[in-house]
Amino acid sequence: MNPPARFTVRVRFSKTGKIRFISHRDMARIVERSIRKLRLPVSYSEGFSPRPRISFGLALTVAYESEAEYLDIDFVTPVDLEELPTRLTEALPDGLSVEAAAHLEPGTASLQESISCCRWIIEVLGDSADVTAAVSDTLNAPELPLERERKGKTTTVDVRPAILEIEIAGPTDNGVQLVALLSTDALTIRPSEFIRVLSPEFGEGRIRRTHQFIQQDNGNRSEPIEAPDSPAAPHTLLTRSIAPSEASAMSDERCAS
């Protein structure tokens, strides 16, 4: 018997507001429940305890927000991509919003395999001049040794190659907002490590992932779901700056932002 047909859909969603305090595992359960609520024709795994076939991308650290989370869902019959984002958003809790959906060609590499770097808005808590100086020192440093503890062992890694870009977006109440492009490839640096590398004196404020990128064979970066009319040439993706209004919108009282 042939395996049942599969239609894989990739969706992009944002995670903002209070719900940023849930974990990656929590996200998985919430998405599964939402898909069942909508009775979408999701494909189930074989075996004794069938689970819906949903693959998640890179985990987002608890308390970080994101405008660019992705997941791939396998369906047994095609679904309407036009209405899928709205329907999913209605089924998901406040603060999670599905922004785009696209069919995936069979054989497309998984999110885990293909994402090479992410862009982040990172609020660094510290004196503005100190942060600015640290950014310039970091960009000029030939190497940046970072101590990491794994399973009780301390190793030192040069993380300089993992810091691809840093821009200063502007001041916040307690520090400075940076936009940084950080590698998630073979060499990885987390936003918290990035702040530590800038200076152990700085604190961690609000952090938000804005993009995830796939490195193409031709050297260009693309997003996991391409906007139909804006091919993702690297230079167009690097110029985004954050308006102060957007920065202040990052604090809220309701579940959603």
In the complex, the residues that contact another protein under the rule CB under 8 A are 18-19, 21-23, 25-26, 29-30, 32-37, 39, 42, 44, 48-50, 52, 62-63, 91, 93-95, 204, 251, 253, 255
Q: How far is the CB of 192 from another protein (least distance, A)?
A: 10
Shortest distance in whole angstroms from residue 48 CB to another protein: 5
Provide the minimum distance between the beta carbon of 85 and another protein in the complex, in angstroms, as a whole number: 18
Helices 84-91 and 24-37: angle between axes, nearest 10 degrees: 110
Torsional sign, CA 198, 200, 201, 206: positive
Taking the CB of residue 101, how many other CB atoms lie within 10 A of it?
Answer: 22
- Closest to another protein by CB, 187 vs 255, is 255
Which CB sits closer to another protein, 143 or 253? Answer: 253
E strands present in 63-192? 65-75, 96-103, 115-125, 145-150, 153-158, 163-171, 175-183
E strand or H helix at 12, and its extent?
strand 7-15
- The CA distance from 236 to 228, in Å, is 15
151 alpha-carbon distance from chain centroid: 26
Residue with Cβ nearer another protein (51 or 240) = 51
Choice between 91 and 163, CB closer to another protein: 91
Min CB(46)–another protein separation in Å: 11
Give the residue with the Cβ less far from another protein, 46 or 105.
46
| Least distance from another protein to the Cβ atom of residue 13, Å | 15
Dump the DSSP string for 34-60: HHHHTT--B-B--SSS--B-EEE-SPP
Which CB sits closer to another protein, 48 or 153? 48
CB 123 within 8 Å of CB 171: no
Whether the CB-CB separation of 117 and 164 falls below 8 Å is answered with: yes
State how far the Cα of 20 lies from the Cα of 24, in Å rounded to an integer. 10
